[in-house]
Amino acid sequence: MKGSVFLLLIIFLGVLLFHYDQDNRKDLSNYEIQDSELALLMRFVHDQAKVLKGEVVNAQALSDYNKEVEFITSANPTRPSVQGPEFEAFARYYIEKNKNVFEAPGKDSYNDMIESCVACHNEFCPGPVRTIKKLTIK
């Protein structure tokens, strides 16, 4: 009998706590979460790199150079602390490597561009490094 009462008490407390948690959980659906300009640009750069990879691997003519990537130095980041001379140096290096792919298409120039992405992301935003490395041509 004691065991049954104890079990019922535990079940009752569990239901009570579950109900309390559901009532007090914040509703996040009203919060608008927006990506920064830099985050959106990074997605564009990633998509462009995937296209370039296919073109380089298949020895196809490259798509036209897209000057959008040059906004990397002025796009607002998610974290303002990212802005500064060190980030600007990485960004300019990437732009240079990106242009090199179009001036001298090939596996080496393409992989150099990807390595410039990895170097910057290792310093500022390491989350996507694994995804970026998958863009490397073996």
Which of 71, 24, 25 has its CA nearest to residue 48? 71
Which of 71, 73, 67 has its CA nearest to residue 85? 73
Question: In which domain, by residue range, is 91 found?
Answer: 37-133
Each residue of 85-101: pLDDT tens digit?
A: 999 999 999 999 999 99
Dihedral sign for Cα atoms in the order 96, 101, 104, 106 = positive
User: What is the rounded end-to-end Cα distance, in angstroms, of the chain?
Assistant: 69
Give the pTM: 0.75
**Residue 24: is its pLDDT beyond 60?**
no
H or E element: which one contains 55?
helix 37-57
108 assigned to some structural domain = yes
Taking only Cα atoms into account, the Rg of the chain, rounded to an integer number of angstroms, comes to 24
Q: What percent of the chain has pLDDT over 70?
A: 77
pLDDT attached to residue 75: 94
The count of domains in the chain is 1
**Residue 15: is its pLDDT beyond 80?**
no
19 assigned to some structural domain = no
12 assigned to some structural domain = no
**Mean pLDDT lowest among 9-18, 24-33, 49-58, 100-109:** 24-33
23 assigned to some structural domain = no
Mean pLDDT over residues 23-48, rounded? 74
